[in-house]
Amino acid sequence: MTVRIGSGAGFAGDRIDPAVDLARRAALDDLVLECLAERTIALGQQRRLADPGAGHDPRLHARLAPLLPVALDTGTRVLTNMGAANPPAAGYIVRRMLDDAGSTATVGVVTGDDVLDALDLDAPALEDARPLRAHGEIVSANAYLGADAIAPALEAGAQVVVTGRVADPSLFLAPLAQRLGWAPDDVDAAAAGTLVGHLLECAGQLTGGYAADPGRLDVPDLARLGFPFADVAADGTATYGKLDGTGGRLDRHTVREQLLYEVTDPSGYVTPDVLLDLRGVRVDATGPDRVRVHGARGRPRPERLKVTVGYDAGSRVEAEISYAGPGADARGRLAADVVATRLAGLPVTPRIEVLGGPADARLRVAARGDDPAVLEVVGHEVEALYTNGPAGGGGVRVHHAPVLGVLSTFIPRDAVRPRTRILEAVGAAA
């Protein structure tokens, strides 16, 4: 028995058409859309703080509208972490989409990654070992859940599963374990499934998107890059491929490059499900755009889970002005000197840079701080260059925004309580 699992997204801004193509032509069992990172969940928390009904991936509807009809028609189960900072809201959006389409498919919503109430504010941040509370007001905390948090939704028969902060490879391990009957305590099976997830999680990176370098590593038809899938056997061996007729390349080079992506310790890559040992992994080409990977080993999962912590880091201002024509770069540098002089003595240290060349230059000034009035001065000084020189300035842009800082820490596993809710079609029995 083998399970075919595909990658439909590698980050929040990914394309949707390769995922639809996979769902239509690849005969998938499962399709995973991995759209969440530390930065994107922090942005989601920012949106949720401003609007309790927001916080999910803003592209959720646009991404799933063309995909779900195809996936459901082909019997492909869809899993995604586009719930971001608000999985319940995302789940209800998906439920309404299915109801409007007359579909009785069920939606599983996985929560419990929000651990703000359980967080020890005196715990050290991994980045600098200082207590979390020393960085400012803590406004969010999301633990990396594992495959066991997704399992109840799959066991309940959910055809679409929406999560928040789940570790990227866990999104793939959960459906593989459920379909292949892997025991929760089988560390080598968990390692094999985690390896599949690690290789597929970034979608187009495995098919050459992140490797393309003209003249050094050429990737054909990059404008029509296809996303990868894997045929996974019960023993954990996986053969990776992409659809015929799509752009990109999938070979030993792209697989080995992705194999080491974000891995600091190949002997013990830490996930919520297993410590993955990559040292015995073999990568063998079996045909055009087909690569066989096996040999992952595992050790028992850690007793602590990583947490992404958001804190109030004040506000920022970004201000720009352009100069064009002969001597543009010199006028840009003069503008930079003027702004630096005018801002000297402020309790912030702005970043001042001139971008471009001799005939087209742009001054950019950026600063971060806790006092909005001070940041207002920074933006105003750039705007004032319009008529206060140098000559020919235009296209001023001034943007103010709050800053949500991001830290990492650990939390005991037993302090995290994953939960699952099944959303059935309108009129279905509860």
Give the pLDDT confidence of 294-337 residue by residue, as tens digits: 999 999 999 999 999 999 999 999 999 999 999 999 999 999 99
Average pLDDT, the chain: 96
Q: What range defines the domain where residue 332 resides?
A: 309-408
pTM of the model: 0.93
Report the C-alpha gap between 408 and 214 in whole angstroms: 37
Q: Are residues 217 and 190 in the same domain?
A: yes
138-183 pLDDT, tens digit each: 999 999 999 999 999 999 999 999 999 999 999 999 999 999 999 9
Query: Which of these, 94, 107, 192, 204, lies nearest to 147 by C-alpha position?
Result: 192
> Residue 392: which CATH number?
3.30.70.100
Which pLDDT band holds residue 428 (cuts at 50, 70, 90)?
low
Query: Which of these, 110, 121, 49, lies nearest to 82 by C-alpha position?
Result: 110
**CA-to-CA dists, residue 244 to 6, 15, 25, 171, 407, angstroms:** 14, 18, 10, 26, 42
Are 307 and 121 within 8 A, CB to CB? no
243 in a structural domain:
yes
| Neighbouring C-alpha atoms within 13 Å toward the C-beta of 98 | 27
Q: Are residues 10 and 115 in the same domain?
A: yes
372 in a structural domain:
yes
Write out the two tokens for 25: 């032509």
131 in a structural domain:
no
Q: Are residues 296 and 319 in the same domain?
A: no
150 in a structural domain:
yes
The pLDDT value recorded for residue 430 is: 44
- Name 142's bridge partners: 114, 308
The pLDDT value recorded for residue 93 is: 98
Whether residue 384 is predicted with pLDDT greater than 70 in this model: the reply is: yes
Q: Are residues 242 and 384 in the same domain?
A: no
428 in a structural domain:
no
Phi-psi region of 128 (alpha: psi -120 to 50; beta: other; left: phi over 0): alpha
Domains held by the chain: number: 2
Q: Are residues 313 and 289 in the same domain?
A: no
Are 239 and 292 within 8 A, CB to CB? yes
Q: Are residues 260 and 319 in the same domain?
A: no
Write out the two tokens for 271: 């996930």
Residue 87: count of CB within 10 angstroms of its CB? 28
Q: Are residues 119 and 243 in the same domain?
A: yes
429 in a structural domain:
no
Strands (E), 221-359: 228-233, 238-242, 269-270, 275-277, 282-287, 290-294, 297-299, 304-324, 351-357
Q: Are residues 231 and 89 in the same domain?
A: yes
194 in a structural domain:
yes
Q: What is the DSSP letter of 265?
A: -
Q: Are residues 295 and 354 in the same domain?
A: no
Report the C-alpha gap between 30 and 32 in whole angstroms: 7
Q: Are residues 296 and 317 in the same domain?
A: no
Whether residue 426 is predicted with pLDDT greater than 80 in this model: the reply is: no
Mean pLDDT of 194-200: 98
Q: Are residues 59 and 178 in the same domain?
A: yes
Q: Are residues 176 and 286 in the same domain?
A: yes
Residue 166: count of CB within 10 angstroms of its CB? 31
134 in a structural domain:
no
- Per-residue buried b or exposed e for 103-135, using 16+ beta carbons within 10 Å of the residue's own CB: bebbbbbbbbbbbeeebeeebebeeeeeebeeb
Mean pLDDT of 333-347: 97
Whether residue 202 is predicted with pLDDT greater than 80 in this model: the reply is: yes
Cα dihedral 45/48/50/54 (nearest 10): 140
